[in-house]
Amino acid sequence: MQNHSIVNHLFNCKYMSRYRLTAVFLFVVMFSPVRADEGMWIPLLLEQTRYRQMKELGLKLSPEDIYSINHASLKDAVVLFGGGCSGVVVSAQGLLFTNYHCGYGQVQSHSSLEHDYLTDGFWAQSAGDELPNPGLTATFLERMEDVTAEVLQRITSGMTERQRNDSIAAAVARIVKARQPAKHHRVDVKPLFGGNQYFMYVYEIFSDVRLVGAPPTAIGKFGGDTDNWIWPRHTGDFSIFRIYADKNNQPAAYSPDNVPYQPRKYAPVSIAGIREGDFTMVYGYPAATDEFITSYELDYLIRQNYPLRVALRTERLEIMERYMQADAATRIQYAAKHAGVSNAWKKWQGVIHGVQRADGVKQKIARETAFSQQIADNPQWSRDYGLLLEKMKNNVEAAALLQQASACYAESITSIELVKFAGSLLTDIPPPNQDLLKKASGFYKDFSLAVDKDIFVAMMKAYLANIPEAYHFEEMKAQLKRHKGSVEKWADEVYAKSVFRSYQALEKVLANPKSANKLIQKEPMIAIYLSGQAMLNERVYPSLRRLSQEHDSLSRVYIAAQLQADKERIFYPNANHTMRISFGQTVGYSPSDAVTYQPFTTLEGIMEKDNPDIYDYRVPQALKQAAEQKNFGQYAANGMVPVCFIASNHTSGGNSGSPVFNGNGELIGLNFDRNWEGTMSDVVYDAEQCRNIIADIRYILFIVDKVYGAQRIVGEMEVRE
């Protein structure tokens, strides 16, 4: 009774300080039932939250072994790879493992018809052969800190939402300025629990990251789009890079004089094997979840937003595939683009299916009904929160059409490459400069005019069919009137006249200052871009921003109220691309009646899928030969090489490339996917269905060592049997 009274008192305010939130958070954790397979936990808070449960499942490390700022810990081996993936350092010489699909863009950029690394793979034979990747970074977290009290210290209950946001922005700016360390560092302050709590993150950023090794696409993406998000899986989804530093082991821009980075900590690798029920821990940077989404938002997503996005991407994928199958050069040009479009396309379908199967909307309604009853039973809560859900419902309904217009524009008009590229150059034209031409050269290397023209026609038609005329932009209306409603005739004219149709045409125009000055006024692709942006800026974004701000405000209060009212539920902050830990066990699942999946796959399954007539299942000859000769070395288990396994770790986008550790803190695999039935885990978690898919480290080392003979790479790692 005493604790309940304290919690009631703390939440009678419209905002919470660090101490208010912490008190409630710990209360909820300490008096709630445990689900070891759900949640993305803050490493700094493990001892207060989930450490006991992790030990019960098999963790042997101390909290300080996992996260520490006083000595080297496991967090110092985990990296944010590029802007969206995770990775892990596995040697004292800065060797880094991540997923193949995370490094795919770099492999593709180094590929050509003469050096087709996508088909053949790439293995640097010496340090001098390791390939630089301009723009690629490896980012280490140095420390995190709860700064809620500093961020919210000037917030008062009488503030408007704008005043509140301005105060928070000013506080964040002060914190970043005061904590900003040396060069090559970054300080972020991010909200948790919808803005009820704030954490600061200090990062060290390395910008010289070189490609060391990658298997052929036939291994790194074995199963391709067919098997994406699917279990059983047989994909060797890994690529290998190395972080370089200056001679003082500090971050530095690329230079031939740089040397391999010596990390504070690197992960030892275990090839001892795993069994069903073993403890697993995923350490990385999950991008986004929405544990607190309402039934109204979820219903909108699965009935309107996702189906529209899926339909538009289906058309684009079909166009790309038609050209890629007909021409090898186009296949290379569009390989990474196709993969990028396909990934979310298949995931969204899985989310729709998973939410419907789990009755996710009904689950949310049941929770909201219980929440409403709790509110109604408490006079103070009723005054504070009685109209909260009704306001959130009205907000979702008001934003729905605007959201559809914005989503459809992004999936259709913005997907037309020449329109997007023309818009990206507006700030550079005029005058012409070498940076602009260099940017253009990179763009046209992976561009097909024929593919883009077909996408133009399909996407313009789709936008016209799906979005009301009030959100059609003026250039679209004028050109369709001029061409008597024919999108095809409009496309013929645009792609014939545009100076963006080729690098040579653009270079010629930019070489003449007079023609460069006239480009913005006369170029049809720029006209489309500017007209579309004007429509969005005038008719969509202002109202959408206002409704989004209103939603954020309502959501913040809703989350605070849930933390107060629902003490039987375990709460964890939504993923926001900051370092998190999830834990679970290797365990199978049953997706449907009479179907049960085991948690492990093997090399035998790859050979069973081998089909030279299907691109996704063409097994490379080198792998076939190693399998036939049973050249497995120390990487076999029960006479066969393990390939992938699944576990009950809660993961999300951004966890691609995340290291998966056993109870001893040894690397046992790389997380790379979720099962299709569990893709809805960002919004609705189903413990019976949600599984993360992991490339077994034994298969990775088997490919590197035995199949392609890159012993140089394996030799610098600490491999434990």
Active site residues: 101, 237, 656
| 202 φ/ψ angles, rounded to the nearest 5 degrees | -110, 125
* Tokens 């200052």 belong to residue: 513
Q: What does the block give as tokens for 98?
A: 């991540």
Query: Please, what is the angle between helix 541-565 and helix 388-411, to 10°?
Result: 140
| 391 φ/ψ angles, rounded to the nearest 5 degrees | -65, -40
End-to-end alpha-carbon separation of the chain, Å? 53
Q: Would you call 202 helix, strand, or coil by DSSP?
A: strand
Q: Would you call 667 helix, strand, or coil by DSSP?
A: strand
Q: Would you call 647 helix, strand, or coil by DSSP?
A: strand
Q: What does the block give as tokens for 709?
A: 């003979």
Strand 719-720 versus strand 269-270 pairing type: parallel
Q: Are 182 and 219 in contact (CB under 8 A)?
A: no
Q: For residue 671, how many C-alpha atoms fall within 13 Å in the half-sphere facing its CB? A: 35
What's the DSSP call for residue 410? H
**CA separation for the pair 637, 321 (Å, rounded):** 39
Q: For residue 615, how many C-alpha atoms fall within 13 Å in the half-sphere facing its CB? A: 14
One-letter amino acid at 441 equals S
Q: Would you call 193 helix, strand, or coil by DSSP?
A: helix
**CA separation for the pair 229, 699 (Å, rounded):** 19
Question: 473 - beta bridge partners?
Answer: none
Question: CA torsion sign, 685 to 690 to 693 to 697?
Answer: positive
- Helices and strands in the chain, H and E counts: 30, 22
In 3D space, the residue among 211, 263, 267 whose CA is nearest the CA of residue 240 turns out to be: 211
One-letter amino acid at 324 equals M
Residue 190's H or E segment, with its range, is strand 185-192
**CA separation for the pair 137, 82 (Å, rounded):** 5
**CA separation for the pair 124, 106 (Å, rounded):** 14
**CA separation for the pair 224, 104 (Å, rounded):** 13
